[in-house]
Amino acid sequence: MKNDSLSFPGGGIAANDIKDYIKLNFILQFFKRTTIKLSGISEIKAEDIRTTKKDGHGNVSISYTYYIRFVGKFGAARIKFANEGKRDELYNVIRQANKMGLPIFDAC
């Protein structure tokens, strides 16, 4: 992050329409770095995806993949992490930079 921007490996920007999948700019994003403005992020969410695999001997292995999903003026994007701690660090930096506190609900 530098100067209100976040840069990450390409391929994380979601398609807005089925036609996007055949557009050259959408396809080329997988080979470039994507840079967005931090101040342009309006929503952010941390996600854990659990994958369960069974081998031929009945052994089960469980693995997790960690994501940050965010939405903003640029569209929607997702960044993948192999480590929960690194994901949470970036998640908190983005929330602090954009002053995105937890919502407060009035119980009255």
pLDDT in tens, 33-69: 778 888 888 999 999 999 999 888 888 999 999 999 9
Angle at 33 between CA 25 and CA 4, to 5 degrees: 110
Residue 53 lies in a domain: yes
Residue 107 lies in a domain: no
Give strand pairing partners of 8. Answer: 34
pLDDT of residue 93: 87
Model pTM score: 0.67
Domain that holds residue 22: 5-97
Residue 103 lies in a domain: no
Residue 104 lies in a domain: no
Residue 92 lies in a domain: yes
pLDDT of residue 4: 80
Residue 105 lies in a domain: no
pLDDT of residue 11: 64
**Backbone Cα Rg of the chain:** 17
Residue 108 lies in a domain: no
Structurally, the chain folds into a number of domains equal to 1
